[in-house]
Amino acid sequence: MPAKHEAPNPIQVQKYLGGLDYPAKKQDIVQKARQKGADDHILQILQKIPDQEYPSPVALSREVSKIH
pLDDT tens for 16-49 read 999 999 999 999 999 999 999 999 999 999 999 9
pLDDT (tens digit per residue) in 53-67: 999 999 999 999 888
The answer to whether residue 27 is domain-embedded is yes
The answer to whether residue 1 is domain-embedded is no
Domain boundaries, position 20: 10-66
The answer to whether residue 17 is domain-embedded is yes
Domains identified in the chain, total number: 1
The amino acid sitting at 35 is Q
Q: With beta carbons less than 8 A apart as the criterion, state whether 64 and 41 touch.
A: no
Per-residue pLDDT band for 7 (boundaries 50, 70, 90) equals low
DSSP summary character for residue 25? E
The answer to whether residue 4 is domain-embedded is no
The answer to whether residue 32 is domain-embedded is yes
Q: Which helix (H) or strand (E) holds 26?
A: helix 26-35
Q: Comparing C-alpha atoms, which of 50, 51, 55, 48 is closest to residue 20?
A: 55
More confident site: 4 or 17: 17
- Per DSSP, the chain holds a count of helices (H) and strands (E) of 4, 2
The answer to whether residue 35 is domain-embedded is yes
